[in-house]
Homo-oligomer: A and B are copies of this chain.
Amino acid sequence: MRVKEIRDRLHEIVFEADTPLGKLFDVVLLVLILFSILIVSLESVSSIREAYGNWFLAIEWALTFLFTLEYFLRIWLVDKPSGYIFSFFGIVDLLSVIPTYLTLFAINTTPLIVFRSLRLIRVFRIFKLWRYLGEGEQMRKALYASRAKITVFITVVLTVALIVGTLMYLIEGPQHGFTSIPRGVYWSIVTMTTVGYGDIAPSTEIGQSLAAFLMILGYGIIAVPTGIVTLEYSRASKPSTQVCKSCSKEGHDEDAKYCKYCGAML
């Protein structure tokens, strides 16, 4: 009887965030995740790794132990363990603790960082905060609503990048860095998105003219996603509070007096 009670209370703390303790658990967990990511990041800096290598090892194992504990706790707490284990976050949680154990079997020390980098996928936990943030939901909705537009936009960008990239490969040639068509396409995307590294840049007059044309054209094309997002955003942010009493549908304009779906007064 008592075990069940503890289990229920722990479930509330670990899986929900309505109670103060539940919120505290989530915040502590997120801090630990961010801390473990910081450790992996710092460890990748060779000068820091050489100086504090042992510290990192100790912290790594302590964090892994805590995350493993949390993982088994979660399995124990849910009524259907398989449901959690094969859920998105279940797999993420497992994948984030495995790497450290795998290092026990690794002979060569170089790929250790590769294993440990897997820890990073735990950062997806941050998206669990999403639902508490109405703003995040709104942003997701705006992006989702404009998925068709974005697909068309990306198709246009890639088609233009393919054509211009091939043309630049033919015009500039390997001697100016355009060693192949894929490289030309890479350069086109770098130029159209206005990133412009300059690792590959046109040198001939015709190449520079085409590049200038692509920049101006590209800027026009690139302005499109901003227009899309602004539009969807302004739609998603429109008052959806009013619900028709007759047909229960949402999404009425601010100045609407009658339901646009069933004609009932609002």
User: Which A residues contact B (CB, under 8 angstroms)?
Assistant: 37, 40-42, 44-46, 113-114, 117, 120-121, 123, 126, 133, 135-136, 138-139, 142-143, 148-157, 159, 162-163, 166, 169-170, 174, 179-183, 185-186, 189-191, 193-199, 201, 205, 208-209, 211-212, 215-216, 218-220, 222-234, 237, 252-253, 255-265
Residue numbers in B under 8 Å from A40 (CB-CB):
166, 181
For the complex formed, measure the closest distance between the CB of A149 and the CB atoms of chain B, giving whole angstroms: 5
Q: When chains A and B are docked, how far (Å) is the Cα of A215 from the Cα of B139?
A: 19
Q: Judge whether B166 and A189 touch: CB under 8 Å.
A: no
Which of A162, A163, A216 has most B Cβ within 10 Å?
A216
Q: When chains A and B are docked, how far (Å) is the Cα of A181 from the Cα of B123?
A: 15
Given A182-B205, A227-B233; 20 other pairs, CB 8 A cutoff: A41-B180, A44-B169, A44-B182, A120-B166, A138-B149, A139-B149, A139-B153, A189-B215, A193-B218, A194-B194, A196-B196, A196-B197, A226-B227, A227-B234, A230-B234, A256-B260, A258-B262, A259-B263, A260-B260, A263-B263
Q: When chains A and B are docked, how far (Å) is the Cα of A150 from the Cα of B162?
A: 24
Q: When chains A and B are docked, how far (Å) is the Cα of A252 from the Cα of B211?
A: 42
Q: Judge whether A223 and B212 touch: CB under 8 Å.
A: no
Residue numbers in B under 8 Å from A225 (CB-CB):
219-220, 223
Query: Who on chain B is nearest to A234 by CB?
Result: B231
Q: When chains A and B are docked, how far (Å) is the Cα of A120 from the Cα of B164?
A: 10
Partner of A223, one of B156, B197, B226, B261: B226
Q: When chains A and B are docked, how far (Å) is the Cα of A189 from the Cα of B191?
A: 12
Q: When chains A and B are docked, how far (Å) is the Cα of A220 from the Cα of B154?
A: 10
Residue numbers in B under 8 Å from A191 (CB-CB):
195
Q: Judge whether B196 and A190 touch: CB under 8 Å.
A: yes
Q: Judge whether A179 and B46 touch: CB under 8 Å.
A: yes
Partner of A260, one of B199, B224, B234, B255: B255
